[in-house]
Amino acid sequence: MRIHVVDHPLVAHKLTTLRDERTDSPTFRRLADELVTLLAYEATRDVRTEVVDIRTPVAGTTGVRLSRPRPMVVPIIRAGLGMLDGMVRLLPTAEVGFLGMIRDESTLQASTYANRLPEDLSGRQVYVLDPMLATGGTLVTAIRELMRRGADDVTAVCLLAAPEGVEVLERDLAGAPVTVVTAAVDERLNEHGFIVPGLGDAGDRMYGVV
């Protein structure tokens, strides 16, 4: 597994405002969207392409386009939905699937309650959107499901990660073709499984407490 922390002043600036408890939900959603677009730029650095012949108004030349099968973007509902627009802004031709997952706050175990994915993902590059890599259980479960369906290149895009979550992914997905792209790896998890200093519950901050 490879982890890539995006080191850029604009990323740090937007992340700081997201962390601030005074930031309201509309501002949080807008900044999360902008931050994901910056992360997506790095996450798609190795997106697969093919050479094509084209003609400009002046002369013939060659260029590249995204190869088939098209990439797939998979937000993990609910907080991952707030990252979708920022990702498909850079990958408008990607297909979109959905995974609904919930974490039991007492056991910290993740379970799937909704699944909208192709049965066959063979040869597909898949980009999973999950704001917080905390305990790692949700992402491990999601990535295993994608790989069970044939995905051979999975990139997780996260706003924040905790060292404990990174360790779990490295242990449970050892040898798997997985990359994590994030804005920062924070200090630790607290006793409730929240990232410290973190930014709180990303879903609640995007959409309100439900």
- Residue numbers annotated as active site: 103, 107, 201, 204
Contacts of 59 (CB under 8 A, 6+ apart): none
Residue owning tokens 């597909």 = 124
Q: What are phi and psi of 150, to 5 degrees?
A: 110, 0
What does 94-120 look like in DSSP terms, one character per residue?
-EE-EEEEEE-TTT--EEEEEEE--S-
The bridge status of strand 110-116 relative to strand 98-103 is: antiparallel
Neighbours of 22 (CB within 10 A): 6
Among 107, 209, 89, 204, smallest CA distance to 157 is for 89
